[in-house]
Amino acid sequence: MGIAVAGNSGCCEVDRNILKNNRFFGIAIVDGEHTISNTKISGGNVGVLAAAFGVDTVATLNRVIITGTTTPTQELPVGATAEVVFAPRSAQTAQATILANNPIAFVMPTPASADLSS
């Protein structure tokens, strides 16, 4: 896992990260509300996980780009609600059906030779 934030809504700033090929999750938000900003996630299984075991959970993506993951976002509501929310200027590729259900998100094409490290 790349980054995990659990509990204490708004306690932490998750900003300006580049995550590549994390085996399970690029970023996991658990039992709280947190914003992820200016971040690029590529490769791996799940880009962003919102997991709610006892507290409603919201992972807000602000200027986040997710490419090449098996599942760009995942919501895991176990004992409460879990949601991933896309702010304007965030994108995930290869999951147009998820984006179609969220009117503030958009699909950004990724060139075959895209370099996410800059």
Domain presence at residue 117 = no
| Tally of domains within the chain | 1
Helix ranges, the chain (H): 96-100
pLDDT at 11: 87
* pLDDT score, position 105: 39
More confident residue, 107 or 46: 46
pTM strictly above 0.85: no
Please check whether residue 88 lies inside any domain of the structure. yes
pLDDT of residue 59: 96
Residue 118 lies in a domain: no
User: Is 50 part of a structural domain of the chain?
Assistant: yes
Quick check: is 85 in a domain?
yes
Higher-confidence residue: 90 or 61?
61
Task: Give the model's pLDDT for residue 14.
Answer: 94
CB 5 within 8 A of CB 32: yes
